[in-house]
């Protein structure tokens, strides 16, 4: 049986499943957005915002791996925006938008999406649809 705990504003702040703690704590910022979730294992996710809570700024993670605790406070996932307040960087993903704000290129590590072609490990996956509609996928080897 899943049991939820609530804070004074009736927001979820803990989750138990059959007595096992899944979420041990949730904190919220002044806008009611989650700032931190702490899991039963001790792992956590932290989010910070900028521009009065409008934009996500950083996502920091800490987790337990093989009994050792890993803290990523020195290497958070960063989010950046252009002057029109459009997302241009989402963690490891660099995003390029056209003048209408549509995604035309996304790239991270060895992955990229350029004009309907998804490229990974030397394989191109082409989609026949641009900006909506049904897409058929063909793999170019």
pLDDT > 60? residue 4: yes
Query: Cβ(137)–Cβ(127) under 8 Å?
Result: yes
Q: What is d(CA 42, CA 35) in angstroms, rounded to the nearest whole number? A: 16
Alpha helices in 24-71 (DSSP H): none
The residue that leads in pLDDT, 133 or 94, is 94
Per-residue pLDDT at 53: 74
How confident is the model at residue 27, as a pLDDT?
92
How far apart (Å, rounded) are the C-alpha atoms in residues 120 and 106? 12
**In this predicted structure, what is the pLDDT of residue 137?**
41
pLDDT band at 88 (very low <50, low <70, confident <90, very high): confident
Note whether 45 and 58 are within 8 A (CB). no
* pLDDT (0 to 100) of residue 138: 43
Dump pLDDT digits (tens) for 96-139: 887 877 777 777 776 666 665 555 555 555 544 444 444 444 44
Q: What is the mean pLDDT of residues 71-79?
A: 70
pLDDT tens digit string along 11-69? 999 999 998 999 999 999 888 888 999 988 888 888 888 877 778 888 887 776 655 55
- Looking at residue 119, its pLDDT comes to 54
d(CA 106, CA 136): 19
């Amino acid at each position: 049986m899943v049991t939820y705990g609530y804070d004074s504003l009736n927001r979820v702040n803990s989750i138990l499943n059959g007595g096992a703690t899944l979420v041990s704590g949730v904190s919220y910022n002044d806008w009611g957005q989650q700032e931190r979730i702490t899991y039963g294992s001790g792992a956590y996710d932290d989010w910070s915002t900028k521009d009065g809570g409008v934009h996500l700024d950083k996502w920091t993670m800490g987790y337990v791996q093989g009994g050792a605790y890993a803290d990523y406070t020195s290497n958070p996932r960063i989010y950046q925006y252009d002057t029109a307040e459009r997302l241009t960087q989402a963690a490891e993903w660099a995003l390029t938008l056209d003048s209408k704000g549509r995604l035309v290129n996304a790239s991270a590590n060895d992955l990229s999406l350029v004009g309907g072609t998804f490229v990974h490990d030397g394989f191109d996956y082409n989609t026949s649809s641009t900006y909506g509609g049904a897409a058929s996928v063909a793999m170019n080897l």
